[in-house]
Amino acid sequence: MKSQFLPALRLTLVMMVLCCGIYPALVWAAAQLAPGHGEGVQVHKNGRLVGFANVGQRFDKPEYFSSRPSAASYHADGSSGSNKGPSNPDYLKEVQARLDTFLVHNPGVKRADVPAELITASGSGLDPDLSPQGAAVQIPRVAKARGLAPAQVRALVQQHTELVLFGPDKVNVLALNLALDALR
């Protein structure tokens, strides 16, 4: 037993230094290279903080593009998914209710044309982006609510579509909605 104690103690100390010191320092250093230096990318309008570009938020008014639903109620400090599987009856009711609400607020959109991202929450519950298709199905509602031509809103969506090298293209909902407000 004595012969195993010292190697175990050394391994414990080495792992403590590695896991509690070196690894967190490397993660912190990597965060300093990211936009916002690991603190998030603040978005200001007229000198006032209106949100974070990398955190989803709720947009309920018809003149705005809706964000992806959030299982965390858009609270960044409580980031989480719902942990309900696709066969959970409560989850299915929730998704159906979101679909029904979306169809009521977006007349003319067929059930089959609604992207899953508009009725299901992301894993973090805070996804700030939609796919171009998720934004496109909302164009008629937003254009009508703002009194704009659908082609003008479609062009704005295209301007705010970010082409991603590895992964699907995306549209930041906050940036798109701020650009809509700038049209006034």
pLDDT, one tens digit per residue, over 148-171 is 999 999 999 999 999 988 889 999
Residue 106, pLDDT > 90, answer yes
d(CA 44, CA 95): 33
For residues 28 and 48, membership in a common domain is answered with no
CB 38 within 8 A of CB 104: no
Question: Any idea which residue has 């969506």 for tokens?
Answer: 157
**Residue type at position 116:** A
**Residue type at position 25:** A
For residues 50 and 28, membership in a common domain is answered with no
**Domain containing residue 128:** 38-182
Mean pLDDT (whole number) for 116-132: 87
Query: In sequence order, what are the beta bridge partners of 42?
Result: 52
Number of domains composing the chain: 2
d(CA 171, CA 161): 5
Give rounded-to-5 percent helix, strand, coil for the chain: 50, 10, 40
Q: What is the pLDDT of residue 33?
A: 86
For residues 3 and 74, membership in a common domain is answered with no
Token couple for 103: 């169809």
Confidence of residue 139 (pLDDT cuts 50, 70, 90): very high
Mean pLDDT (whole number) for 125-131: 87
Question: Any idea which residue has 């938020």 for tokens?
Answer: 57
**Residue that wins the pLDDT comparison between 14 and 56:** 14
For residues 86 and 132, membership in a common domain is answered with yes
For residues 146 and 159, membership in a common domain is answered with yes
Query: In sequence order, what are the beta bridge partners of 49?
Result: 44
Residue 81, pLDDT > 80, answer no
For residues 4 and 67, membership in a common domain is answered with no
Task: For residue 10, report the phi and psi dihedrals to the nearest 5 degrees.
Answer: -65, -45
For residues 1 and 45, membership in a common domain is answered with no
Sheet with 161-162, side-by-side order of all strands: 129-130, 170-172, 161-162
For residues 53 and 82, membership in a common domain is answered with yes
For residues 81 and 154, membership in a common domain is answered with yes
Report the predicted TM-score, pTM, of the whole model to 2 decimal places: 0.78
Residue 16, pLDDT > 90, answer yes
Mean pLDDT (whole number) for 119-135: 88
For residues 28 and 42, membership in a common domain is answered with no
Q: Per DSSP, which regions of 20-96 are E strands?
A: 42-45, 48-52
For residues 52 and 77, membership in a common domain is answered with yes
For residues 16 and 71, membership in a common domain is answered with no
Cα end-to-end distance, the chain, whole Å: 77
